[in-house]
Structure 1
Amino acid sequence: MRESDRLLIGTAKRGKRLLSVLALCRLFETAAGILLPVMLASVIDTVISRDGMMTPAVLLIILLGLITLAEIGEQIAGAKVNATAAARLRHSVFARVFELGLPGGRRFPVGDVLNRAMDSAAEVSRAGPNLLDMICAPLISLGGLVALALIDWRLVLVFAVGVPVVSMLASRLIRRVTVLTGRYQEAQGELASRFVEAVGGARTIRAAGTLDREVTRVLTPLSRLHEAGLEFWETQRRAGWYLSLLAPTLQVGVLVIAGIGVVDGRVSAGELLAAQLYLGYALRLLSQVGILAELGRIRGSAERVQEIFDEPLPPGGDRPLPPGPGVLELRGITAIVDGRTVLDDVHLTIPAGSEVAIVGASGTGKTTLALIAGAVLPPQSGKILLDGTDLATVSRDETRRAISVAFERPCMLGDTVGEMIGFGDDYVADTAVELAARASHAAGFIARLPSGYGTPLAGLRLSGGESQRLGLARSVCRGARVVVLDDALSSVDTATESEITAAMHEALRGVTRIVVAHRMRTAAGADLVAWLDEGRVRAFGAHHELLADPAYQALFGAQPVGVS
């Protein structure tokens, strides 16, 4: 069994109580539907014979009422089954994406994830009701065939002529629709990803005057989307056309045989009407083609969702992290990004409580090294040890508590400014949030906000420097052993950077700090400097010692030498 099929079964099982209610309603409708023509035939025959028609009529009315109630229950239960299954599956998809971390973000762009989580998950959530349709439709068809045989066995022979044709069409349809659904949703995901990228870079597009070219780029997958959609409906239309020829032919044949039976006295007038209704039930076997087409769409969607679950998780164990001062070791770290070796056999030991600046020319792997040190990006090979413990054996929750990262563009998570600073799995006291805001020099502009720390993030417009200071505050208040600052002060001026750096030194006293540095001032203020060159550590030492190398000085251009 394919993993995507296991996903379908697992999704259906998640709402098994509601699915059980839906199944009971469907099965009752099936059984009542098979009884309905018999009772209708009984009423007609008693009317013709004028012999005790009241009882069959009352039973018919009761049966119709019960069928109506079952249909109402089916509609309510069906809607709840779909909504519940979709919500739970989407929760699992987003949880998996977050567990995948940065590698998952590179493998599945934002627009593609949204397409899989919204459209594909919605299709997969219909797996349970679709499977019930596949069970109930053959049951009522089988009941119709049995009833036709009881009325006159010759009627079944007429119907049997069309069964091989239906089987052949169904087999072809489900295979073709599964393939086309995958192609359609793949193009849809690519289109969504390009659109999200364009929206994110709207200002750049406008400034560069490349709107027309960007529109062309975003809409490039549209032709593939159109072709897949057109071929899908053409496949279903062709199958429906064949069936539309087959169904009337079978109906005429059954009516002719039943009519002859009435003339010969084998079939009553009521049974003639019942035979027509039972033929309709038997012909529901043909509706399996539509159900199978939907199953093909569902399976194609399940394959798209399953790709996210098939992506391997970053290494992580379940061991707790022993206490320690914060010594971070990188042993034999190699990182490959987009097919290019960014870091090659990097060895680095960062003493506890020290501040280490990472410097190097553009493209030498500074950010990649910071992300690996911050346990955000797993390396292709090598080990990351914190206080002698290999982080690959430690639970991810423990690692996240021990290492905090502040990014160049922090995400505004939470409902309010205060929640954004204290955002995380563990509770952070308001006093810790305020202390962190003061350390990052965010307290001043927060005090000017309408509701201070309680100001909603929705609709709040912040400058790049203000956003970075909130991100710094969030990293400070976590109480981590190691704090990684990935270009986290790039949007503030040099004077503000000096003030924030001094305050951060005080707030993070005793905490191991790793800083991606582009300014000489930042490197000069660090205890040690790791100089990266072509993916390797060219030198590791104090800033004033490295200044003796002209190539090191050239990294900073005409920036002034020394510490502020």
Structure 2
Amino acid sequence: MFGSGARLLRTAARAQAGRTVLLTVANAASTGAQLALPAALGATVDALIEGRDFTGCLLLCASLVALYVVTEALSDYTAGLIQARSALFFRRLATRRVLAAGPYAPAGPKSGEFATLLLESAAAASMGTNAAVWLGFSLAPALVALAALWWTDASVGLVFTCGLPLAAWCLKAFAADSSRLVAGYLDVQGEISARLTEALDGARTIAVSHTSEREVARILAPLPRLRCSGQALWQLQGKVTARTGLLFPLLNAAVVATAGLALGAGRITPGQLLAAAEYAAMGTGLGMSMLFISQLSRARAGAERLATLTASRPMRYGEDGRSVARWLHGATQPEHETRGRAGPGLPGARAEIRGAVVRRGGRTLLDHVDLTVAPGRVTALVGRSGSGKSMAAALLGRLLDPDEGAVLLDGIPVPQVPKSVLRRQIAVAFEKPALLGGDVAAAITAGLPGATGQDVLRAARLARAESFIGKMPEGFATELATVAMSGGEAQRVGLARAFIRPARLLILDDATSSLDMATEHEVNQALLAAMPGTTRVVVAHRVSSAARADTVVWLDGGRVRAVGAHAGLWLDPEYRAVFEPTASGARTEAAR
């Protein structure tokens, strides 16, 4: 059940190999001192009773106590480092796996589930290395105590041995049941986190629709299951604690009573009786193992949840830029040599989709799509909601790979193109851009690290964003957290982020939907003037956007229904029906 989770825990342990060895050595020294102390105390008592010099035995006892204290402190410090580093390891791994799979990964977690993976599951998994080491050293005293008791007297060792199978049965049952319960608890936690994140994303809609009480009820609906899982775990711990709480004291008393009889028979000394009592107490301290078993079960459950990310197949990229040497000189030039250039300096790319099939959740979103985007031209992807427009655009931008078929740029399969080259030559702007960075300038330069102020200003002018940014308190240095942008303003900043890069292929995924007609027209005119040779793919919902394109690709039900000029397609009433939800004014303008 926990195969993949166990492998992940072993990987994390290997990443902390040096600290794990130090923790093991510290625990070995601490356990050794703990095990040697009863024998040293027994020897001291015998020397005192017999009138011999016990100074050496007393110094040995003091040394063992000092060693125990120092090694325990070292163990706690090292364990803290291991847990912190392991949590960082798991969180980095989870983030890298999700990002490597791309935004359209079929098995990618929801944002709420991913937050749970980063917080609860990673924190639980980070206890794995420490729990494994501590569990091993919590069992060692029982085995050493058993050997010491047999060495002291056979009858004492036999009594202790008879109680160990019952203790092992209790611990085994606890380990199996707690693993199952902890996994269920973490699953319900992830479900609640996902629902909460969805509600926060739609907070404005919830507010205006006055459905907050219903949303609260929906978010908290899994709480009874969470309570049942937690209660079942506590009940299991209580049941096992009650069993061991009865078994171990009885076993300890039986060992001491047997040792007393052996002392009365003259088979052992008073010091050996003291040592036997200490070893019996040490051996019956197996109850501490339950704590470490619980931690290990929680760690394995958390690691198993993290391991589900491996179901997301990471995108593969080419290793050697020389393999794409025929992809025109602009694709292999350094960024600083091509920054700010467009048109003749960077000829537009030819993009092709061949027989692409994309499936998600049992549905076929693209069904054997063939599509060619001519270099230096404007191609509009048109269709009703769910027709596959955004999926086709994502394929062209290498935001996902098809389940079947291929995507090519200038005849080169995109998986063969190095990531650095690919991302330098393709720019994408979205309908709802996520603006990243401390200030407005950083949000724009996220598309081109190291860009100059002139680059930022030029991109903002192209996106018609310079005017409203100039009215902000600090202009381009205004912190994003201190300013509220409208949908159209955010789109223009997102467009500027795409325009700042000297891309050969520019994809606009409904990136001008929130702009008014005049501003959208200005943006398109600026792009045509500044980047005459750049290949553009536009996911169009407005008639005006489709009318300005050189070629329109009409998608319907995940297939290409027709390809042609907008004016010719407009004669088809079913094509006109695609734009019915748009404003009549826009339709009239496009028709004219």
Give distance in 2, aligned partners of 1:251 and 1:357: 82
- Provide closer, same or farther for how the CA distance between residues 412 and 209 of structure 1 changes in structure 2, counting only shifts above 3 A: same
Equivalences for residues 333-482 of structure 1 within 5 A: 333-423=356-446, 427-482=450-505
SS of corresponding position for 2:364: strand
CA contact (8 A) 1:93 1:309 kept: no
Partner of 2:142: 141
Q: Secondary structure at the match of 2:104?
A: helix
1:255–1:106: structure 2 CA closer, same or farther, 3 Å change rule?
closer
What is the DSSP-based 3-state SS (H/G/I as helix, E as strand, rest coil) of the residue aligned with 1:178?
A: helix
Alpha-carbon displacement from aligned partner over 1:436-465 (angstroms, at most 9, x marks no partner): 122112222333333333333334322211
Q: Tell me if the contact between 1:97 and 1:308 (Cα under 8 Å) persists in the aligned partners.
A: yes
Deviations 1:102-127 (A, max 9, x none): 23376410111111121111121112
The corresponding residue for 2:334 is none
Closer, same or farther: CA 106–253 of 1 in aligned 2, 3 Å: closer
Q: CA deviation at 1:254?
A: 0.6
Q: Which SS does the other structure have where 1:415 is aligned?
A: coil
Match status 1:9 vs 2:10:
yes
> Counterpart of 1:560 in 2: which secondary structure?
helix
Which of 148-157 and 550-559 deviates more? 550-559
Of residues 320-329 and 29-38 in structure 1, the stretch that sits farther from structure 2 once superposed is 320-329
Aligned partner of 1:123 in structure 2 is: 124
Q: Does 1:545 align with 2:573?
A: no
Secondary structure of the 1:405 match is strand
CA distance in 1, matches of 2:363, 2:130: 47
Q: Identity, % of aligned pairs?
A: 35
1: CA distance, partners of 2:104 / 2:554: 25
Report the alpha carbon displacement of residue 426 of structure 1 after superposing the two structures with TM: 5.3
2:259 matched to 1:258? Answer: yes
SS in 1 for 2:480: coil
* Contact 2:428 2:498 survives alignment (8 Å): yes
1:247 and 1:283 in contact (8 A); partners too: yes
Paired position in structure 2 for 1:521 = 544
1:536 to 553, 556, 559: 559
Matches within 5 A, 1:203-214: 203-214=204-215
CA distance in 2, matches of 1:338, 1:237: 42
2:3 aligned partner, one-letter code? R
> What is aligned with 1:267?
268
Determine whether 1:66 maps to 2:64. no
For structure 2, the 5+ residue unaligned runs are: 329-347
Relative distance call for 1:446 and 1:175 in structure 2 (3 A) is same
Q: Give the letter aligned to residue 366 of structure 1.
A: K
Q: Counterpart of 1:97 in 2: which secondary structure?
A: helix
State how far apart, in whole Å, the 2-side matches of 1:300 and 1:366 are.
40
Aligned-pair distance for 1:319?
5.3
Q: Please state if 1:241 is matched with 2:242.
A: yes
- Match of residue 187 from structure 2: 186
Following superposition, the deviation at residue 310 of structure 1 comes to 3.2
Q: CA deviation at 1:60?
A: 2.0
SS of the residue 1:162 aligns to: helix
2:243 and 2:448 mapped to 1: Cα distance?
58
1:66-105 mapped onto 2 (5 Å cutoff): 66-104=67-105
Query: 2:122 matched to 1:132?
Result: no
CA distance in 1, matches of 2:363, 2:204: 30
Instruction: Indicate the SS of the match to 2:518.
Output: helix
Distance 2:519 2:448 in 1: 31
2: CA distance between counterparts of 1:84 and 1:430? 39
The CA deviation at 1:563 is 8.6
Q: Aligned equivalents of 2:278 and 2:407: distance in 1?
A: 72
Partner of residue 588 from structure 2, selected from 542, 547, 560:
560
Native 8 Å contact 1:476 1:508 kept in 2: no
Structure 1 residue 305, shift from structure 2 partner: 0.8
Match of 1:311 in 2: 312
Counterpart amino acid of residue 82 in structure 2: V
How far apart, CA to CA, are the structure 1 residues paired with 2:25 and 2:365? 59
- Which segment drifts farther, 98-107 or 497-506? 98-107
Alignment-mate amino acid for residue 28 of structure 1: A
Residues in 2 aligned to 1:57 and 1:177: alpha-carbon distance in whole angstroms: 44
Q: Do 1:476 and 1:507's aligned partners in 2 also have CA atoms closer than 8 Å?
A: no
Which amino acid in 1 is paired with 2:56?
A: T
Letter in 2 for 1:413: L
Q: Distance in 1 between matches of 2:441 and 2:548?
A: 30
**Aligned-partner SS, 1:23:** helix
- Deviation at 1:83? 0.1
Instruction: String of CA shifts for 1:2-34, please: whole Å, max 9, x gaps.
Output: 222111111111112222221121111011111
Matched residues in 2 for 1:415 and 1:119: separation? 28
Secondary structure of 2:589's counterpart equals coil
Report deviation, 1:350.
0.7
1:97–1:105 Cα contact (<8 Å) kept: no
State the 1:80 CA deviation: 0.6
Given that 1:11 and 1:124 are in contact with CA atoms closer than 8 Å, whether structure 2 keeps it comes out as no
Specify the alignment match of 1:219 in structure 2. 220
Instruction: Tell me if the contact between 2:184 and 2:229 (Cα under 8 Å) persists in the aligned partners.
Output: yes
Moved more, 547-556 or 324-333: 547-556
Greater alpha carbon shift after TM alignment, 325-334 vs 44-53: 44-53
| CA apart distance, 1:314 | 4.1
CA-to-aligned-CA distance 1:49-68 (integer Å, 9 cap, x gap): 34323332233223222221
Q: TM-score, normalised by structure 1?
A: 0.94
Letter matched to residue 534 of structure 2: V
**Partner Cα separation in structure 1 for residue 216 and residue 106 of structure 2:** 24
CA drift of 1:146 comes to: 2.1
Q: Describe the SS at the equivalent of 1:102.
A: coil
In the aligned structure 2, how far is the partner of 1:342 from the partner of 1:105? Answer: 12
Change (3 A) 1:374 1:136: same
Tell me if structure 2 keeps the 8 A contact 1:41–1:270.
Answer: yes
Q: CA deviation at 1:200?
A: 0.8
